Amino acid sequence: MPKIVVKNKIVNLNGDEMARVLWNKIENELILPYLELKLSNFDLSITNRDETNDQVTSDAANEIKKINVGLKCATITPDDKRVKEYNLKKKYPSPNGTIRNILKGTIFREPIMIDKIPKIVDHWNKPVIIARHAFGDIYRSKEIVVNKKGKLTICFEDEDGNKEEKLIHNFETGGVGLAYFNVFESINDFANSCFNFACKRKVSLFLSTKNTILQKYDESFKQIFDDVFKKFKKEFEKNNLTYQHRLIDDMVACLMKWSGGFIWACKNYDGDVMSDLVAQGYGSLGLMTSVLQSPDGKILKSEAAHGTITSHFRQHQQGIQTSTNPIASIFAWTRALKQRAIIDNNSGLLKFSENLENICIETIDNGFMTKDLALMCGPEQKWITTNEFFDIVKNKIEN
Ligand SMILES: NC(=O)c1ccc[n+]([C@@H]2O[C@H](COP(=O)([O-])OP(=O)(O)OC[C@H]3O[C@@H](n4cnc5c(N)ncnc54)[C@H](O)[C@@H]3O)[C@@H](O)[C@H]2O)c1
């Protein structure tokens, strides 16, 4: 089987624990034997982030900015326990956050649909893609606890010292307060990422807010999306796509009623909650992909939505064969390869990526799957080990 030549590079960010074990197997067994592919490799393992004082994470993001296509293995975001476990110099921030700040993109989470796997919400037969605006709102808020009588205000002061102050509440007794913000530039980037992604995937787009209550804050999101839509209107019409703003409560009801097949642009908190709800509704974290798309639509970084699967790694370290689901990680590779194929106009590479995705789906539909998926199918369903799953997929690529 002659190798398919891939002219331009892809940036490959390696990660931690069981996700790294899967990642290396995918690269060495399912990708490199079939593609003449140059990878620009960055080791984002927690030990290398510590050795480089996290410089490797920024370097990797800047390389993706240059090359446009990247893929990332799941990585540890250290908490206090991890700092101790790896004897780290400090509690480094989430690499995903660092990369997102440099690429300024939006994350789109999309489930992989497989007929054989029962869904909790049975009638969701097309994907719901959640786009989360991962900036500001409650995640950058300041809180206050009030323990006596008094007034709480919010105040903006411009550079010349002019003040605009509003009363929030006159406290008679104790209570709590909160202030948060967002910036137009970030909302504008979010809107552009969403419209670009909708055009690329040919899927309609919905934005949800509570602008009936937050008539300035949430209304700004609606206004900005309406403005950006003007630029994309023709392309949407050409592809029979629609864009609509809906109230968050209405949108949640629609999610339950409809059968999927749309992108849902969510504000930060809504996206946090809804992405987990939707992941459960479709079945498994092991079937959820995640793509970071830049506002101009040029840069794409793909990954699996799950973490480093620590409990499986502990078994792996003891030499026990695990049954870890590699599908979302394989799709992280194929989604990045597809993007490379589209940019480079490489039909052979596009066919290879689509074929690999179809083989994975067909293998599961034929009843060969890892334990997490088998448990969802019921007690009769047999499961196989990770290595056995790779062997079947590899065999299918070659025949
Ligand atoms: N994008 C990322 O890089 C990312 C995302 C989430 C968590 N993490 C990191 O991963 C580590 C573990 O975090 P966690 O346990 O919360 O999340 P996790 O996704 O690793 O695991 C959550 C649960 O789902 C199961 N699971 C997840 N993926 C699976 C798969 N492919 N096959 C079979 N079972 C699977 C796990 O066994 C576990 O029960 C943490 O250090 C965290 O910082 C990284």
User: From ligand 1's centre to the CA of 108, what distance in Å?
Assistant: 18
Residues 186 and 106: their CA atoms lie apart, in Å, by 10
For residue 100, what pLDDT is reported? 87
Q: What is the pTM of this model?
A: 0.91
In the numeric block, which tokens belong to residue 274?
């809804």
Tell me if 76 CB under 6 Å of ligand 1. yes
- 93 Cβ below 6 A of ligand 1: no
- With helix as H, strand as E and coil as C, how does 267-286 read? CHHHHHHHHHHHHHHHCCHH
Phi first, then psi: give them for residue 76, nearest 5 degrees: -75, 130
According to DSSP, residue 380 is labeled T
Answer yes or no: is the C-beta of 241 below 6 A from any ligand 1 atom: no
Instruction: State if residue 285 touches ligand 1 by the CB under 6 angstroms criterion.
Output: yes
Question: Do 6 and 344 form a contact (C-beta atoms < 8 A)?
Answer: yes
Q: Which atom of ligand 1 lies closest to the CA of 22?
A: 31
Q: Which two tokens stand for residue 345?
A: 């106009």
Residue 113 is classified by DSSP as P
Gyration radius from the chain CA atoms: 23
- Give the distance (Å) from ligand 1 centre to CA of residue 92: 18
- What does the alpha-carbon distance between residue 364 and residue 283 come to, in Å, rounded to a whole number? 14
Buried b (16+ CB within 10 A) or exposed e, 352-380: bbeebbebbbebbeeebbbbbbbebbeee
Q: Could you give the 3-state DSSP secondary structure of residue 141?
A: coil
Please name the residue whose Cα sits nearest to atom 15 of ligand 1: 309
Ligand 1 closest atom vs CA 324: 32
pLDDT for the residue 158: 97
In short, whether 170's Cβ falls inside 6 Å of ligand 1 is no
Please tell me the number of Cα atoms within 13 Å of 27 on its side-chain side.
20
* Structural domains present in the chain: 1-113+283-399 (3.40.718.10), 142-179 (no CATH)
Separation between Cα atoms, residue 361 and residue 220, nearest integer Å? 41
**The pLDDT of residue 280:** 83
- Regarding the beta carbon of 186 and ligand 1, being less than 6 Å apart is answered no
The whole-number pLDDT of residue 251 equals 96
Which residues neighbour 165 within 8 Å (Cβ) at sequence distance 6 or greater? Answer: 153, 154, 155, 156
Q: Give the pLDDT confidence score for residue 8 in this predicted structure.
A: 96
Ranges of residues in the chain with a pLDDT under 70 are none
